Structures are given as C-alpha cells and as structure tokens.
Chain A
Amino acid sequence: MRRSDTVRRGNRLLLVLLVLTAIVLINLDVRLGAGSPLDDLRQTVAGAIAPAQDGLGVLAQPVLGLAGDRAAARDARVEGLEAEVARLQSQVRTAAVDRGRVAQLDSLLRLATAAQFATVPAQVVAVSPAELSERTVVIDVGSADGIATDMTVLNGDGLVGRVLSVTASTATVQLLLDPAAQVGVRMAGSGQLGLARGGQEVVPDRRDVLGSDVLGFELLDRLAPMVDGDVVVTFGSPGGRPFVPGVPVGVLRDVAGGYGATARIATLVPYVDFSSLDLVGVVVEPPRTDPRDLLVPVTSPPVPAPEPAATPVVP
C-alpha cells in the first residue's frame, strides 16, 4: 500500500470520528440540558478565558465608541458614580466618545437612583456572533464583584436582560432578544399583566418603523384594553431574580387581536438599543418597594408615533 493512501484513509477515518463525536456532544447537551457534564466544561472554559476576555475590554472599548476610566467605573457602586460623572463631565468635554459614556453613566445612575436599585456598572466585552440565533453578551464583572446568576441587567434606557452564568471576573448576559428569553411584564398605568418574549422577527416592510430588534408581547387578560403606544415595565420576580419590578421594557406597536379576541398580541419595541450596547448595570440588590411606574420615561417614545388608527367599529 502506498503511503499517501494510508494517510488519506487515516484522514477520512479521523473526519468521521470527529463528526460523530460532535453529533454525540450535541445530542448529550440537548438531552441532558441543565446539569449536563458539558455545563461543567463550559464553566471551566469560561473561567480559563475570563482574564483574557476581561482584558479584551480594552480593545472592545474603542470599538464601542468608548474611552475613559473603566476600572474606576467598574468597582464603584452607582451612588459613587455621581462624582465620577461630574468629574468626567468636567474633564472630557472634548471627545464625543467620552461624552457618550458620560451620558450613559448618567442615565444609568438616574434610573437606578430613582428606583433605589443597588447596581454594579459593567462594560460589554464580547457579543455572540450575528449568525447565531442566541443573543448573549459577556460583561466585565463577575462573582468577585458580587454578581450572581439570575440578576437583572439594565441600562439607562431600560431592561437589557438577565445574568445567565458567572465566572470570577466575567458574566454572560442573556439579552431580552434571545429566543429563550421570557419576561413577565405589566402595562404601565392599567397594571395589566402580559408576557414578553424574545426571538421575534419583524416583517421586512415594518422594519424601517420598528427596527429589527423587537419582542413579542401577549396580554394575559383578553378583555383588558391595549393600544399602540402603551408602555410596559417588568412585573418583577420573587426576590427580584431574575427580574426586579418596575424596569421599563418598551412600547407596544402593531397591536393585533381586538377586544375579547382569543389572542391579544402586539410587537414590543424595546427602549434599549441592543445594537450599540456597551455600558450596563447589574442590579445586585432589589429595591425594598416596587417602584411601580416611576421609571417610565416621560420623553418621546423610541419610535415615531404610528399613523392615526382607524376609528374602532362599534357594533
């Protein structure tokens, strides 16, 4: 037998073995779900690369249009950030990127202070590739900063997601847009309950109006009123995990299903711009009381108001 034939056959065998291994791994992970041995492996890999990933934030920052004193921002609690914001505001009026960061810290601070959330600010350092259906990011704070799984993540505009897993110095955040994400929400004002879901697609001709990153919304009480422009906030989970109450989620558009219809669904346009996520806050301590509708923005909604709806036909 010629040597090249042996090599070729060995390569082919290797390919088959590796492909089979990959298929077995996929199957194991899907079937066993949480608690599969692959989760331990995942945790090990996450811990091993955490320092490098954390360090890569230095590279990520200019990419995200950020600069400035990240280390100081990270370890301080939001109360301490007021001074930081003032310092930054006075010092770095020159660069537009710095002004952007100040604005972000400022709005995060405003929201967290109003609600009396204790938050830890964090910087996004990695994002799941666009071709993957999952929508997750890595932030540069971890268990050493007091972060634990199922904590709420927000920014100055509203709800971002929840902490999926942590290492000592990094944490993975599941964004609201992830197909597996579900949030119990409440309509501001009426207090009607609903469910917001990630993994939604917008029909192409509505994309210019709504953007491509939207959530699905389902109203639980099918007799309750629901119109375009209604604002929804988080309902809150027991103990504030995974979601603290009262965080603005977004605005309802394209309300479908009339009064009393079997399904009352709408598109939920989130307040947070997920395409340019950089500075976020992790709620490490929920407020003692539900902030109710305190955090709902009074300024303009994230999308232009829809064309006036046709007058409802009253039978």
Chain B
Amino acid sequence: MTRPGFALVPSAGLVSAGLVSAGLVSVGLVSSVLLQVGLLALLPLPGATPDLVLVVVAALAIARGPGAGAVAGFAGGLLLDLAPPAAHAAGQWALVLTVAGYAAGHLGDPRLRSGTRLVLVGVLAGLATAAYVTVSGLLGAPWPGLGELSLLTGSAVGYGAVLAAAVVPGGTWVLRRTNAPQRTAW
C-alpha cells in the first residue's frame, strides 16, 4: 500500500484547515512563551517556574499524536531558547520539549480520564524540568544540588498539573474545531 498523505492529493479544504490549525498552534506557542517569561516567571512561587509551554505542547500532542507533539515541542523549545531573556546555548529546551511532546502524544489519548491526563502532564513537566537541569549541567551550568533539584521537580509536577487543568480541555476543544485530522502524523 502506498504511504498515505504522499500519494493522495489533499483537497483545498484540507490544506486550508491545516493552515488554520498550524497558525493556531503557532499563536499558542508564541503566546505561551511570552506569558511564561513575562508573567509566570515573575510570580513569587516556590521552586520552578510553571512550564506553560510544555503544557501547551502536551495538550497538542494529546489531541494530535506524537509526531505533532514532537514538532510543536521542538518549535516551542527553540523559541524558549532564543527569546529574551534566554542566555543559554540554544537547543536545550528544544531537545527536552521534543521528547516531552513525543512522550505526551504516545502516552496521552483523548479517551483517557481527565484526571489521569492532568497527572500525565504534571509528571512530564517534572521530568522535563529535571531533564533540562541535567542537560544544562552537562554543558557546564552550576548543579543546583539534590535538595534544590527535588524542589524544582516536585513543584514543576504540581504547576504542570494545575496548568494542564486550565489548558488541556480548552486546547483539545479548539483543535477539534479546526477539523484537521485527529491523532495522525504531521
């Protein structure tokens, strides 16, 4: 059998629906990056900064599957790496969020119970934080120490789950409204 998507000529309607949803996703990623460094990072919260970008990526991945999750993770991560006030070697967030997006798409499923979904996103946020600290540590950034790292990771799990409760249902609904194919590859 021929590969789907390559053999078929997509109709004009499908293309425009794809463009609309790609545009929506871009807007979502850019605004989540802006909100993360311009608002969430300013809040006097203990531990990590709530990782809105990861939650948006995870919401997309749950709705659209691992391929879309990986692409969105890479794009959102690269934006976090490049947008001010970032001053670290670019690609670190991209690396972490690509894997996180893929994992969210792989493990998450719109049919999951909503509570399970929140836990999943929270755990991914915690793992992503720990992974980021490890990657930047490998590149020579100061190691925060085990106590600090567990505080960062633990708080990231909590913030991730809370943000997911706000973002995932709405995000899924919006993505469904764009009529793009669900749970397929890119």
A interface residues with partner B (beta carbon < 8 Å): 1, 3, 6-7, 10-11, 14-15, 18-19, 21-30, 38, 41-42, 45-46, 49, 52-53, 56-57, 59-60, 63-64, 124-134, 136-138, 164-165, 167, 170, 172-174, 178-180, 199, 201, 204, 275-276
Main secondary structure of the interface of B (DSSP, over half): helix
Contacts of A130 in B (CB 8 A): 41, 47-49, 152
Which residue of chain B lies nearest to A128 when distances are taken between CB atoms in the complex? B85
Complex-state Cα separation, A41 to B79, whole angstroms: 10
**CB-defined A-B contacts under 8 Å, sample of 22:** A11-B70, A14-B70, A22-B94, A49-B30, A49-B33, A49-B34, A53-B34, A56-B39, A57-B38, A129-B37, A129-B41, A129-B48, A130-B47, A133-B136, A134-B87, A138-B38, A138-B84, A138-B85, A165-B84, A179-B141, A179-B142, A201-B145
Nearest CB of chain B from residue A275's CB, rounded to whole Å: 7
Which residue of chain A lies nearest to B86 when distances are taken between CB atoms in the complex? A128
Complex-state Cα separation, A7 to B86, whole angstroms: 35
Chain B CB count within 10 A is highest, among A10, A11, A52, A137, for: A11
Nearest CB of chain A from residue B144's CB, rounded to whole Å: 8
Contacts of B91 in A (CB 8 A): 21-29
0 or 1 for each of B86-111: is its CB under 8 Å from A? (1 = yes): 11111110110011001001000000
Task: Count residues on chain B whose CB falls below 8 Å from chain A CBs.
Answer: 64
B interface residues with partner A (beta carbon < 8 Å): 1, 3-4, 30, 33-44, 47-49, 51, 65-67, 70-71, 73-74, 77-79, 81-92, 94-95, 98-99, 102, 105, 129, 132-133, 135-136, 139, 141-142, 144-145, 147, 152, 156, 184-186
Contacts of B42 in A (CB 8 A): 60, 63-64, 124, 126-127
